[in-house]
């Protein structure tokens, strides 16, 4: 069988690693920030960054081909397009691409994708020697970058999540692994009679306290530093798992669900918000969960199978955004 040149070119572009790696190296070197508003010539920039001038020029020339930098009378300079890659741009790209951040390290674990396909296990520990969460625990800078990335990633979706479900049904809600508190703060702000309780590891929990204090929610928002593998604050009306379960294999997901089921009131609910396989999660996201965490984007039947041993019955599915659904579980009758 012959081949179509256009098809071959398309597949070659899809497979090419040069541009993705050029972007990552540029961000890791800090080029978008360094060259923003003040150009630099290759020779001075190479000395400043302690890199090889010829290689740096090749990198910059490739960045120029797709508009990240441009040549000016003062040397190479970051364009308005390239400014999206700078630190503090608020879009999460810098944290995703920088090779010394949690997101960047996670993405580079795709180099070991074959390991995940062979074994069904995460590639991250195969590449770095320990799993993603142990890496964060051992490197506070990675934890900070990860928390910032998650906050930026979900920021635009929070208003739709708050508006797309009747949170007022619950007087009390526990946000399990709730990060820096952005979602819970938005829910509480929209429903002044509600009280919330966030549980996360100590460093992140401290940031959540700051979030609630900054929004004048301190009297209605409690924070506990702890793991969702340990007993949770008991007796709330609802326990929320926002983008939690897909980060874990079934063994660990069972442990998390068991803590929610034992803590929730008999008439309460366990709420799961994340992408659902075949509904609001695609194959790329599924591969990311596998490679980085050893998890996956579960389908509805897989959620039913996962939750049944904990006496949790799927009651409703609400499509909140183009990326996430809310699954509402109740405890099975006695």
**In this predicted model, what pLDDT tens digit does every residue of 74-115 receive, in sequence order?**
999 999 999 999 998 888 899 999 999 999 999 999 999 999
**Considering the entire predicted model, what is its pTM?**
0.88
Element (H, E) at 20: helix 18-29
Mean pLDDT of the chain: 93
Q: Is the pLDDT of residue 314 over 80?
A: yes
Residues 109 and 166 in one domain: no
Catalytic: 246?
Answer: yes
Assign 2 a pLDDT band (cuts: 50, 70, 90): low
Residues 122 and 54 in one domain: no
Residues 129 and 185 in one domain: no
Please state, in angstroms and rounded to a whole number, the distance separating the CA atoms of residues 326 and 164: 9
Residues 323 and 180 in one domain: yes
pLDDT value of position 334: 59
Residues 32 and 52 in one domain: yes
Residues 147 and 166 in one domain: no
Residue 92 domain flag: no
Residues 62 and 206 in one domain: no
The active-site residue out of 246, 252, 254, 310 is 246
Residues 225 and 195 in one domain: yes
Please state, in angstroms and rounded to a whole number, the distance separating the CA atoms of residues 284 and 299: 15
Q: Is the pLDDT of residue 190 over 80?
A: yes
What is the mean predicted confidence (pLDDT) over 223-251?
96
Q: What is the extent of the structural domain holding 247?
A: 156-331
pLDDT value of position 266: 94
Q: CB-based burial of residue 245 (10 Å sphere; 0-12 exposed, 13-18 middle, 19+ buried)?
A: buried
Residues 177 and 299 in one domain: yes
Residue 270 domain flag: yes
Higher local confidence (pLDDT), 152 or 144: 144
pLDDT value of position 51: 97
Q: CATH code at 188?
A: 3.40.50.150
What is the mean predicted confidence (pLDDT) over 43-62?
97
Residues 231 and 304 in one domain: yes
């Amino acid at each position: 069988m012959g081949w179509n040149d256009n098809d071959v070119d398309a597949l070659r572009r899809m497979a090419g690693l040069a541009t993705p790696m050029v972007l990552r190296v540029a961000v890791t070197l800090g080029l978008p920030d360094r060259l923003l508003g003040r150009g630099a010539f290759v020779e001075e920039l190479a000395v400043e960054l302690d890199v090889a001038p010829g290689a740096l020029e090749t990198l910059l020339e490739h960045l120029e081909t797709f508009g990240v930098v441009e040549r000016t009378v003062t040397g190479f300079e970051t364009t308005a397009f390239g400014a999206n890659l700078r630190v503090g741009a608020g879009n999460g790209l810098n944290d995703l691409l920088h090779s010394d951040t949690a997101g960047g390290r996670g993405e580079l674990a795709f180099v070991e994708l074959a390991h995940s396909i062979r074994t069904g296990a995460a590639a991250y520990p195969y590449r770095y020697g320990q799993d993603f969460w142990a890496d964060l625990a051992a490197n506070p800078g990675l934890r900070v970058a990860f928390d910032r990335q998650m906050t930026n990633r979900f920021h635009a979706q929070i208003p739709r999540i708050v508006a797309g479900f009747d949170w007022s049904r619950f007087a009390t809600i526990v946000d399990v692994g709730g990060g820096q508190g952005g979602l819970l703060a938005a829910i509480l702000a929209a429903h002044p009679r509600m009280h919330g309780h966030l549980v996360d590891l100590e460093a992140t929990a401290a940031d959540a306290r700051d979030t609630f204090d900054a929004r004048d929610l301190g009297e209605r928002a409690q924070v506990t530093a702890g793991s969702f593998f340990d007993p949770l604050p008991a007796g709330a009306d609802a326990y929320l798992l926002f983008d939690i379960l897909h980060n874990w294999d079934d063994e660990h997901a069972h442990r998390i669900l068991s803590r929610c089921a034992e803590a929730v009131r008999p008439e309460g609910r366990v709420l799961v918000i994340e992408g659902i396989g075949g509904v609001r999660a695609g194959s790329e996201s599924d591969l990311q969960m596998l490679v980085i965490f050893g998890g996956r984007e579960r389908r509805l039947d897989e959620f039913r199978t996962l939750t049944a041993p904990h006496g949790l019955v799927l009651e409703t599915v609400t499509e909140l955004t183009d990326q996430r659904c809310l699954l509402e579980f109740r405890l099975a009758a006695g």
